[in-house]
Amino acid sequence: MAKAVILDASTGLDEAGLATLEKKLGLALPADYRSFLSQQNGGRPVPECFSFLDDDGPYSDSLVDWFLSVGTDDPSDLLDYCSMYVEDERVPSHMLPIAHDPFGNLILLSLSGDDAGAIYFWDHENEGDADYSNLNYIGKNLDHFLERLFSFQG
């Protein structure tokens, strides 16, 4: 399966920009996400849909509305999302918001621990403690996630 194409992205970050971001976050970024940010900054994927293991049944679907950007005037700014969700203790402190769906939910990237690099879905309607109780596993890393995106079949 081919990776998604990212449309409407800003210019990717250079090495200095990536290093600055990692310093602000206080954590190193996985290699595949560093590569992603160096090639595009934000944007929307085509195809955009994904499935995740859900507590209510075998699988649920959502879609990526927009990947978060760094250092742009875009309202989907990664550091703003970190402030709203990580610093305000709405998601675990080692999770990085990297995208959102059109319904106010987040796609998160684990930056440390046994699951470093893994991608999760966070549902704002089930918000509770900043732990794994409201996280649904999507994929083992960003590349895996991008390869598994599919088009909506209405």
Mean pLDDT of 82-96: 93
Mean pLDDT of 61-79: 92
Query: Domains in the chain: how many in total?
Result: 1
Mean pLDDT of 110-135: 90
In a domain, 154, yes or no: no
Q: In what order do the strands lie in the sheet with 95-100?
A: 66-67, 95-100, 106-110, 119-122, 135-139
Expressed as residue numbers, the domain containing 138 is 5-148
Mean pLDDT of 95-111: 97
Mean pLDDT of 90-96: 94
In a domain, 111, yes or no: yes
Length of the chain in residues, anyone? 154
In a domain, 153, yes or no: no
pLDDT, the chain, mean: 92
pLDDT at 2 exceeding the cut of 70:
no
pLDDT at 1 exceeding the cut of 70:
no
Span 44-64, pLDDT tens digits:
999 999 999 877 767 889 999
pLDDT at 7 exceeding the cut of 90:
yes
In a domain, 84, yes or no: yes
In a domain, 72, yes or no: yes
Using the 8-state DSSP alphabet, how is residue 43 labeled? B
Cα dihedral 25→76→72→93 (10° resolution): 0
| Tally of CB atoms within 10 A around 47 | 16
pLDDT at 23 exceeding the cut of 60:
yes
* CATH at residue 60: 3.40.1580.10
In a domain, 112, yes or no: yes
| pTM of the predicted model as reported, rounded to 2 decimal places | 0.93
pLDDT at 149 exceeding the cut of 70:
yes
In a domain, 13, yes or no: yes
Span 121-130, pLDDT tens digits:
999 988 877 7
First to last CA, the chain: 21
